[in-house]
Structure 1
Amino acid sequence: MYIIHVANKEEYEKEIRTGFYGRRSVERCGFIHCSDLDTYYLVAPNFRNDTDEKVILVIDTDKTEPEIRWEDGGGLDFPHIYGLLNKEAVIAVFPHLWSADRVWIPNEELKPYAVNGFEREYHGE
C-alpha cells in the first residue's frame, strides 16, 4: 500500500541525507502525520497558507521500518508513522502543486498510487 506525507522541500532534502526523515514531527507529535491519496484533498487546505515549498513523499508501507497505525482523524482513519521514516520506504517525491487560489492540484504522476482517483467518499461533519 502507498501513503503520502507532505514535507517542506528544504527540510526533507537536508534530513533524508542521514537515511531517515521526520525527526521534528516525531519529537513534537510522537509520529509522522500521513494520508492516503484518496483523503489528501481533505488535508491539503491545512497547508494553503504555508508559503514554504512543499513536496509529496510517496511511501511504500511494505518498506517502512517503523510501525504505522491508522488512527481516527475525526471520522476517517489516517496513517501515522511511529518513528523516523527510513529512506528506502520513500519511493517517489513530487512537487506539491497549487492553483492560483491555493487549492491542491493532484499531480498526474500520483494517479498510479491512488486507489479511488484522489477522492474517497466522506461522511464526516
Structure 2
Amino acid sequence: MSIVKINAITVPSDSGDELAKRFAARAGAVDDQDGFEGFELLQPTDERTTWLVVTRWRDEESFQAWVSSPAFSHGHRSESERSGGAPQAHVGVSSELWSYVPAGGSAGNRV
C-alpha cells in the first residue's frame, strides 16, 4: 500500500514565491527514486502561510531509502551550493513531517 508524506513548511507571508521558485529549480529531482509515485507543492489560498509538500511512496522503506540517499542531500542543497557557492538562507521558519496511508477515496485523487 502506498504511503503519503507531507512536509508542512511555514514561511513568512512574503516568502512563498521564493519557496515555489526553489522547488521549481529542483523539479524532477526525486522522480527516478525507487518507490516514488508522485509529488505536489500546495500553496495556501487563504491567510495561512503553511505550504504543503505532498509526496506518495510505494512504502515506508522506499521513502527512508530516499531520505538516506546522497540524492536527498544533494537535492536539498541550494543552487548556489550545488555550484560550489555559499548556502542560501532557509525560507521556512518551521517544518513538520506528517505521515499517512490512504484510508479511502478514488483513483482520480492520486498525487
Pick the structure with more strand per residue: 1
Fold-level match, TM-score > 0.5? no
Which entry has the higher C-alpha Rg, 1 or 2?
Answer: 2
Q: Which has the higher contact order (CA 8 A, sep 6+)?
A: 2
**TM-score by structure 2 length?**
0.29
**TM-score by structure 1 length?**
0.27
